[in-house]
Amino acid sequence: MSQVLDTPPPIQAPADDLKALAARHGLSVSGARPSLPEYVRQLWARRHFITAFATAKLTAQYSEAKLGQVWQVMTPLLNAAVYYFIFGVLLGTKKGVPDYIPFLVTGVFVWTFTQSSIQVGTRAISGNLGLVRALHFPRAALPISFCIQQLQQLLFSMAALVVILLCFGVPVSASWLLVIPALVLQFTFNAGVAMIMARWGAKTPDIAQLMPFILRTWMYVSGVMWSIDKLTKKDHLPHVVMVLLQTNPAAVYIDLMRFALIDSFHAKQLPPHVWPIAVGWALLAGLGGFIYFWKSEETYGRG
């Protein structure tokens, strides 16, 4: 490496003057975190990107399949068919729940929405480092966009669900309109949790390996396949466990959806104070998750 010696020494510039020069012309430090209101403004400015990215991901999913977008409805229908086969035909279990198949399928679809939002949220930053390192945008756009993609997926599932409900003789009623507030609240909750997970996942990608186990445990305690109401009616459970089961956000959103859609699922089967709890979880996770995610904005995709 004698060549290196032949070249002139590196140029050194005086540091103080450069700082003063930058200050005089109002230059800002590159890559600094914006204030919270500014961040919200930037995010709002990118709203079209957020939705376009979600839709693009969704359509890209089945673009190589011959049936194409038909799979958007086929996949949830097939899912439901599998559950019907196992629980309705093989096990023949109704567990004392009227309209068990609609009960089960509603639970599965609504749970899947929360589960996959959290899963994609965990990988929202760590799985898209290329994008994060190439372009400037508020990083919260990624977890939110992925949650919107899951919401779009759920809407396709809901279309399949309506078919199933009608097949099982569940009447159409005005209470179906309650689906809208329930979905808005659940989406807010999901997006919040997804943002929290995105920050953790960005720092420690290993979390993505743990999530399947945590989520499966959460699913089993959330009454996806059984009725929490039946369990809590018995007296042998400690009070703490009962309260935990009833305030579990996943269970709350699942039961709200069942209440909205299935006529044999009565208001008295809902946990007490269900709407305030649903709103509380949405606000807590949504706002808290957003602020928590923003706090670390400048570190995503670096190092």
Binding positions for other proteins, rule: CB under 8 A = 3-4, 6-8, 10-15, 17-22, 25-32, 45-46, 48-49, 52-53, 56-57, 59-60, 63-64, 128, 130-137, 298-299, 301-303
Please report how close the Cβ of residue 28 comes to other proteins at its closest, in angstroms.
7
- Residue with Cβ nearer other proteins (16 or 235): 16
Which is closer to other proteins, CB of 30 or CB of 35?
30
Q: In the bound complex, what is the minimum distance in angstroms from residue 65's beta carbon to other proteins?
A: 11
CB of 286 to other proteins, least distance (A): 24
Query: In the complex with other proteins, which residue's Cβ is closer, 83 or 137?
Result: 137
CB of 184 to other proteins, least distance (A): 24
Burial of 57 (0-12, 13-18, 19+ CB in 10 A): middle
Structure tokens at 76: 């949830």
Among all chains, which residue has been given the structure tokens 């997926």? 153
- Rounded Cα gap, residues 285 and 196, in angstroms: 9
Select 59 or 173, whichever has its Cβ closest to other proteins: 59
Neighbours of 179 (CB within 10 A): 15
For residues 229 and 269, give the distance between their C-alpha atoms in angstroms, rounded to a whole number: 6
Q: In this structure, what token pair is assigned to residue 289?
A: 């998750």
What is the C-alpha to C-alpha distance for residues 76 and 158, in angstroms, rounded to an integer? 9
Output the smallest distance, CB 119 to other proteins, in A: 20
Cα–Cα distance between 122 and 23 in angstroms, integer? Answer: 39
Compute the least distance from the CB of residue 118 to other proteins, in Å: 23
**Residue of 191, 197, 179 whose CA lies nearest to 114:** 191
Which is closer to other proteins, CB of 46 or CB of 123?
Answer: 46
CA 155 remoteness from chain centre: 14
Nearer to other proteins, 89 or 134 (CB): 134
